[in-house]
Amino acid sequence: MTTPRDPSHSIPPEAPDPDEVTATASTANWAGVRTESRWRIAYAVAFAIVLVGGCAAAVLNPALRNVPDVAVMDGSWAEAYQAEFDAASPLLDPARTVWGLIDAGLFGQGRPGVLIGTDGWLFSREEYATVPDAAGAIALWSDRIALVRDELAQLDVHLVVAPVPSKAAVVGEHAPAPLPTEAARRYDTLLDALEERGVVVSDLRPALGRVNDPFLRTDTHWTPAGAAAAAQAIATTVRERAPFAGLGETSFETTLTEPEERWGDLTTFLDLGPLLEHLGPPPDLIAMPRTTSLAPPATDLFGAVEVPVTLVGTSFSADPAWNTVGALREALGSDVIDAALTGLGPWEPMHRYLTGEALRSSPPEVVIWEIPERYVTLEGHVPEAPAW
């Protein structure tokens, strides 16, 4: 049985190409927190610093005296000079901060990689990007996922795929622009392709849509509440499509820490440096959950402990701040091994898991594969033919 799609997730109208998407709202995007007069003063000071400091740094920089001893015609001299100039320039970081300030405040944009929405919301530009043949990329990803399913099936292990929808699709009211057509259709196209190949897949959009704050304002990732909602959706799919012995037999308890301020990964693309706290978007407040088992400790010290579920994925699962693994344990009523990795995309963690010793020596009953949907049409992340 396939989880019914939520009809509220309709395809938005065709949007501009991602290269044309810019967040034109400037300081108003910080929800009125920063006043226009402070920005004007900052611009004036910034411009003066760039003019005076830049000229002084260029004249006094030691790179002018330490001329690189490399070839000129092939560009090596220019590259070596630039590297030495940057290393010796005391104003390089302040200059980046100045231009970051101008970009964010005056033009409503950051460095390539981030898009500025409304009310202090930041979005990854990767969500708006697709390879030229998006349908072909999704088909190839789906074929590779089916091969992973078949590989796991040889060990009597069931695969459940959990695509993470784009932030701009879930909280589109804060986005700088609608997703382009191909990106807006990406999630449904992926689900349809996987279901055609008989892959068990969990649609996380309805669950995330019921959460007040499913994603962080200044970060690519979901909130702990979003992770918990996704875990409940995945658990429902597992119970319906891939049940296992011991499902629901272990009780867990989740407690929250005191809320802490956290600037997300997308703020690094604003290049505001030490001015981020004063002129950037307000930080997110996160009360980090901690999930613990209420079951008594095992009495057999020499018995092998078999964990029936393994979670493979990206930083959506690997970062303990979201408590994705803990939320899955509580939702499934079962222990879960965390095999997710940060900074490698969704394919490499699964490739390492399939070729590692842990799978062969102690195979679980279910593998849950968390895949951020943007990766299936992102340049450089289309998986190669597997070699396991």
- Cα atoms in the Cβ-side hemisphere of radius 13 Å centred on 9: 23
219 is a catalytic site residue: yes
**Contact call for residues 159 and 234 (beta carbons, < 8 A):** no
Distance CA(26)–CA(341), nearest Å, equals 36
Please identify which of the residues 124, 142, 166, 315 carries the catalytic annotation.
315
Query: Which residue in this structure is represented by tokens 């842990």?
Result: 358
* Distance (Å) of CA 353 to CA 65, 74, 361: 53, 44, 12
Q: What is the 3-state secondary structure (H, E, C) of 186-237?
A: HHHHHHHHHHHCCCEECCCHHHHHCCCCCECCCCCCECHHHHHHHHHHHHHH
H or E segment and range at residue 46: helix 36-60
Q: What are phi and psi of 277, to 5 degrees?
A: -65, -30
Q: Which of 203, 219, 265, 271 is catalytic?
A: 219
Find out whether 349 and 252 touch, Cβ atoms under 8 Å. no
SS3 content of the chain, % helix, strand, coil (to 5): 45, 10, 40
Judge whether 315 counts as a catalytic residue.
yes
Q: Of 103, 142, 203, 221, which is the active-site residue?
A: 221
- To the nearest 10°, the Cα dihedral for 160, 311, 345, 193? 0
Q: Which long-range contacts (CB under 8 A, 24 or more apart) does 154-157 make?
A: 155/359, 155/360, 155/363, 156/363, 156/365, 157/359, 157/363, 157/364, 157/365, 157/366, 157/367
The beta-strand segments (E) located in the chain are 114-116, 122-124, 158-164, 200-201, 252-256, 260-262, 284-286, 289-293, 309-312, 336-338, 366-372
**10 is known as an active-site residue:** no
For the annotated catalytic residues, the residue numbers are: 219, 221, 315
